[in-house]
Homo-oligomer: A and B are copies of this chain.
């Protein structure tokens, strides 16, 4: 079962998919060389949107959950990719501490953690769970719906190393995006490998920095492939010094939205696209679809009511929003039984290991699909992303997923460049 793509709009995209399909060897070599220059993040998930006329990432997550939503045939690929990653990062490693999110009672999330542990164990590591939560003061068993159990233990700092009471791991893997800031227990670690690095957490990370890096990546990729990078890259701009509560910076924000809409309209005119352009305003640091809104005109920003302003003011862990990213909205034109479907691509190291659709029945094509309380139905990709069918239709499932995998990897490459650029900030933390 593969979501239906509204075909009236597939003109430019079909051309793009064709170009990708005809150039798989060049694309793969381009990535091969790019990954020699840049270290891939340990893992990445990328929210991709397919507008029919445009295929682009809208969010890049460096602490992906949802591994449990991937198709069954992703597991061997994930294991193999993780073996490659560990081989490169810490080839002698015996043991690894996995640090999950603090909301420990969400069984969907815990199933993701169990899946991650399964993958990591199969690379030849003893894997245990270390919690940053104040609620976990002693080893705590959590039960999963499938009958498995997880043992969550409080992390312990000893000198320049972090671990558990009786466990001194070679490496630490964060599955916690540090929205609450960088905890002292993780600062100034000595010889232990910490993955991803601290600057990948939302205490340091900024979406504008990510998409600035993505600009460079798509410019170079577009040149190699002979395509307009806009077809795979949403316009964006950033704005600091905002206070939604006190209505500080509203005018500048409205002007910035206006400027962005003008740029989008000009591209729509160039390609004869008759859709209504829109802009997504998001907290520059943060996740989980909090602090996010969609606007079609600058005026909408000037007329926010108190509830809307409250909603924009804070993100996860109560972090206050003062910097925002304005991002060109990319319509989602994939649907399944009238529900909007948004693909998410998963990578470990430089390999696409699988993906799934977030299928959401109550939201429109131009709305954010990763909102609090959102109840999506995961629909696993029907075929892997690394085996295009060069004899098939450019929009055949393996080929569409190949294109998604290319976009996902471009975003992961941007993340890798972004992390290199912000390394000094992480080191200072």
Interface of A toward B, CB cutoff 8 Å: 24-33, 35-36, 73, 75-77, 79-81, 83-84, 86-87, 91-94, 121-126, 148, 350-351, 384, 386-388, 391
Contacts and interface: CB of A to CB of B under 8 A. Distances in A.
B91 A28 contact: no
A122 B386 CA distance: 8
Given A73-B76, A77-B76, A86-B32, A24 B121 contact: yes
Given A32-B123, A83-B351, A122-B387, 19 more contacts: A25-B124, A25-B126, A28-B124, A29-B94, A29-B124, A29-B125, A31-B124, A32-B86, A33-B92, A75-B384, A75-B387, A76-B77, A79-B386, A79-B387, A80-B80, A80-B351, A80-B386, A83-B350, A122-B386
A75 B83 CA distance: 18
25 contacts: A24-B122, A25-B126, A28-B122, A28-B125, A29-B93, A29-B94, A29-B124, A29-B125, A32-B83, A32-B86, A32-B87, A32-B123, A32-B124, A33-B91, A33-B92, A36-B91, A73-B76, A73-B384, A75-B384, A75-B387, A76-B387, A79-B387, A80-B80, A122-B386, A122-B388
What copy number does this chain have within its complex? 2
Q: Which residue, A26, A76, A84, A94, has most C-beta atoms of chain B within 10 A? A: A76
A198 to B, nearest CB: 26
A41 to B, nearest CB: 17
A126 B25 CA distance: 6
A25 B121 contact: yes
Contacts of A32: 83, 86-87, 91, 123-124
For the complex, would chain A's binding face be called helix, strand, loop or mixed by DSSP majority? helix
B125 A25 contact: yes
4 A-B pairs closest in CB distance? A28-B124, A29-B124, A76-B384, A73-B73
Contacts of A87: 32, 35
A86 B81 CA distance: 15
A387 B91 CA distance: 20
A259 to B, nearest CB: 39
Contacts of A350: 83
A35 B92 CA distance: 11
A28 B73 contact: no
Most buried by B among A28, A86, A391: A28
A79 B123 CA distance: 19
A146 to B, nearest CB: 9
Nearest to A351: B80
Contacts of A26: 124
Contacts of A122: 24-25, 28, 386-388
A115 to B, nearest CB: 11
Contacts of A81: 80
